[in-house]
Structure formats: structure tokens, C-alpha cells
Amino acid sequence: MISEKMAEALNKQINAELYSWYLYLAMAAHFEDQNFTGTAKWLKLQANEEMGHAMKFFQYLNDVDKKVQLSKIDAPPEKLGNHTEVFEQVVKHELLITKNINDLADLAVAEKDHATGNFLIWFVNEQVEEVAAAKQIFEKIKMVNNVPGGFFMIDRELGMRA
């Protein structure tokens, strides 16, 4: 059995993952609107992953007999910029989510909650990949920032995500 404090923190993380889903969906819509369909595809796939993350927490809370408490999802920013600005935001957001996950892992240790600690290992590893992927794209975008047609090259590459 996990503590109420731990359950509350995990519920909060469901909201954070759903916000990630919403944020990436908004970014996808932003690029769809400008016909950068490859970038939009990458972001929609990323949004799907975020929903998957939220559902992992949802299922875990069910498995440990704690109630899932859904709360309001904040609206994503109304204004999103070009590729450079948006992917800088993606990197920042993934670093923030990494901090959340690390805080949850710290709480599991403090509470000697081995089950939750073990459950969180997947997320600790996932965040390493999420941050690395976001940074890699951001670095590539910076390289073509001032190159004519640079964002179209990036768009084609992002559209290859399976």
C-alpha cells in the first residue's frame, strides 16, 4: 500500500503528463496551420506518447488501490513561435518533467516505498531519452536557423518519425 502523500504526488503527475499531451498537441496544430506537416506529425506522435505516460500512472494508481483524481489541465500558450522557439520550449518542458520524475523518485525513497520506486525507474530512463531527443532536434534546428529553406529540411526529417 502506498501513502496518501505518494498517491497525491502521482495524481499530480498524471496532470503534468496530460499537460504535456496538450502542449504538444497545440504545437502540432501550430505547425499544421503553417503546412509544416512533418513537424506536426512528430509532435502528434509525441503527444500520443504523453498520453501513454499519463495512462501508466493511471494504471499504477489502480493497481495499488488508490483513486485516480483528475484535475483541470492548463491551457497551452496561445502564442508559439518558429521551430527554434518551439523546440527550445520542448527542451525546457522535458527538463521540467524530468525534475518532477526525480522528485517523485526522491519521495519514494524517503517513504521507503519500494514498489513506487521500482515503477518510477521506467520514467527515469524515459526522461533521459526524451531530453536527449528534444535537445538533438533543437541543436539541428539551430544549425539551419538562418539557412534559407532550413525549416523545410527539418520538417522533412521530423516527418520521418515512425
Question: 130, 138, 141, 155: which one contacts ligand OFO (CB under 6 A)?
Answer: 130
Give the position of cell 538562418.
Answer: 146
- Say whether residue 116 binds ligand OFO (CB under 6 A): no
Of 125, 53, 127, 122, nearest to 94 (Cα)?
127
User: What string marks each residue from 32 to 71 as x (binds ligand OFO by CB under 6 A) or -?
Assistant: ------------------x--x------------------
Cell of 81: 513561435
46 vs 11: CA distance, rounded Å: 21
* Nearer to ligand OFO (CB atom), residue 11 or residue 20: 20
Residue 27 contacts residue 80 (beta carbons within 8 Å): yes
76 vs 85: CA distance, rounded Å: 15
Residue 94 CB, shortest distance to ligand OFO, in Å, is: 5
Residue 24 CB, shortest distance to ligand OFO, in Å, is: 8
Residue nearest ligand OFO by beta-carbon distance: 20
Instruction: Look at residue 69 and give its three-state secondary structure.
Output: coil
Cell of 96: 521540467
* Nearer to ligand OFO (CB atom), residue 20 or residue 39: 20
Question: 60, 94, 116, 138: which one contacts ligand OFO (CB under 6 A)?
Answer: 94
Question: 11, 20, 39, 116: which one contacts ligand OFO (CB under 6 A)?
Answer: 20
10 vs 13: CA distance, rounded Å: 5
Interface positions with ligand OFO (CB under 6 A): 17, 20, 50, 53, 94, 97, 130
